[in-house]
Structures are given as structure tokens and as C-alpha cells.
Amino acid sequence: MSREELATLLEAEGGPRYHGDQVFRWLYARRRFDPELFTDLPKPLRTKLAQSARVDVPKITARVTADDGTVKYGLALPGGGTVETVFMTHRDRITLCASSQVGCALMCGFCLTARMGLIRHLTAGEIVGQIARIQEDQGLRDRPFNIVFMGMGEPLHNYDGVLAAVRLLVDPAGFALAKRRITISTSGLAPAIERLASEPIRPRLAVSLNATTDELRDRIMPVNRKYPIARLLAACRRFAKATGERFTFEYVLLAGVNDTDADVLRLAKLLRANPAKLNLIPFNEVPGWLPYRAPARERVVAIRDQLLAMGLPVSIRYSRGATARAACGQLAVISDGPGPSLPPPLEVSL
């Protein structure tokens, strides 16, 4: 619940609205989840809340550490189902990679989460609960960290839940994160990108492109059939114009698929007019599950150098956590058998 929602709840319980601010601080700043501990509330109200309200936090069911120190968590959600969330460090930089859905509806061919289909959206509380649980487990209460919505799910498909979570995370009376420390990555839901531009509290934006022709993008990213490249780039330009902010394009490199010299030329032409940086991401292989390979390291560097020579701001983003199947595109709650062992996915429209 937001501060306003908590104020309304406390008012309905017979107390003044400012008790909502007090409960908010107990929950999101002090991380105390038993109403009997809310000592600045009257005792009768604490007892009433303990009887009528419930605070659920995701439970850690698995913890796997990769060779590079990345930790992948399995978190059982109060509303049912499990998601994977990742803790990463690089030099002094700490990043939490959060999930926004159980599964995903968008069926990108190079992403393991897509094999799950969409099971359900996460609530704002379940999203924030991931952060609280890992922050506690890693002892991060007094350390700055970043959040990227690049875990399981398409964040802008769960628009209301994700943006409500962002508002909780940046509230100065709670987690008090700077909004510049939060990044939402989308596979290309153009209307949601345009809607995001009008949000008063807005995280950073990253857009996964991954192809330079509609023919290829239709095949590896079915969302392109509804929002093709021209429509997506138009939404990105509107976002940049409305916000005055730079954003990031992401391009997962698939050997022999989207890494040709012709792709490099088309990529430079497509992105030259956009106020954005490009991250090249070598594909993270999942043998037996996904049919693609990563280009050789020399080829990745050559593509970067070609794009730099053409005036495009570009860098290589080598993913962390691959040995724990925690890298970009590798998150999924699956069986070790021939296919996913999951509830049936939802029928969805985008």
C-alpha cells in the first residue's frame, strides 16, 4: 500500500490519517512487519491491525552463487508461484535484478523466461518484497544499490504494479532510493513507453531492440508484429522529447542471426537520430533449451568498434552470473527434464 492507501485504511479503522505515515515508515523504512511492534500507534489500534491486516514477505527458497560472486535467489511469493531475483556486484557497484511477473507473455526466442509463458503479474508488494528480502540477506541497509527490472517478465506489461513499486522504492519515508538508480527494461511495448514519459516519478528506460529488420524481429521477438521497429523508435523519440532524458538501447548478439556487417550498418542508421546509448549484450547460452549461440569475443569487439567509428555511443555489457544461470535471458523456474513443469500460461493481449 502507498502512504495514501495506508492513511485511508487507518482512517477506516477509526484513527487519524497521519497514522498511515507512521505505518508506512514501520513497513518500508524500519522493516517491521508485526503491527504489535508499531509502538507510536495506540495499543488498541495495534491489536486491531494485528487481527485484521496481513504483511507477507517473499521467502527465500534457493540461493545459488556464480563464479563471479553473483547470487541468484529463488523467492516464493505470498500470492503463489516463485520468481528468480539476482544480486550482482561489479567493483563497488551493487545491482539487484528484480522480476515483475511469474513467467512472461512475450515469447522472445532467446529468453528462457519465455518458455514459462505468463503465469501472473506480481503485485507492487511482491516486487518491493523481493528488494527488501535480498537487501536484508545481503546486509545492504546502509549501502547504495541499483535496481534493474530485467528479471522475469516484461515490466511494462505489468505497468501499474511496477510503477506502484517504483513509487514505494523512491519514497523518502521508505526505501528512499533515487529514481536514477532504478531502470526499467522493455521489449518494446510502444504505448507503455509513451505513457511512461508522463509519469511524475519515472525510472530510467532501456529498450531491447535485438534486430534491424522487421522480418527478423517478428521471428525472434513476436511483440514486433504488433509494434514494429518504426513504431517502437517513434515511441522512443516521443519519450526523449517529452522527458529530455537519454535512454539505452539493448542489442543481444546472436551468432549468425543479427551480427552481420549488414546488421551493423542498419543498426547505426536506425539509432543515429536517437538520443540514446547502445549496449551490446553477447547472448548467454542455455544448452538444451535455447537454440542460439554467442558470437566470438573478437566479433563482439569488432562490432563495437565499427559502431563507434560510425559515431554511435556504444559499449559491451558482459552479463554476470552465467555459471548460476543468473545472466541476462537465463532466468526461469523450470524442471530439469525435457520441458517446463509449470501451470498453464495465461491467455493475454498486449
Cell 531502470, residue? 183
- DSSP three-state, residue 213: coil
d(CA 54, CA 239): 39
d(CA 329, CA 104): 12
- DSSP three-state, residue 247: strand
CA angle 146, 152, 156 (to 5 degrees): 80
From 5, 36, 84, 154, active-site residue: 84
Task: Give 216-246 as a DSSP string.
Answer: HHHHH-GGGGTS-HHHHHHHHHHHHHHH---
- DSSP three-state, residue 76: strand
Contact (Cβ atoms closer than 8 angstroms) between residue 30 and residue 38: no
Contact (Cβ atoms closer than 8 angstroms) between residue 341 and residue 89: no
d(CA 233, CA 187): 12
Longest dimension (CA), the chain: 71
Q: Does the annotation mark 84 as catalytic?
A: yes
Task: Give 125-183 as a DSSP string.
Answer: HHHHHHHHHHHHHTT-TTS--EEEE-SSS-GGGGHHHHHHHHHHHH-TTTT---GGGEE
From 194, 236, 328, 347, active-site residue: 328
Q: Does the annotation mark 104 as catalytic?
A: no
Residue type, 101: Q
Contact (Cβ atoms closer than 8 angstroms) between residue 282 and residue 300: yes
d(CA 284, CA 33): 38
Residues tagged active-site? 84, 328
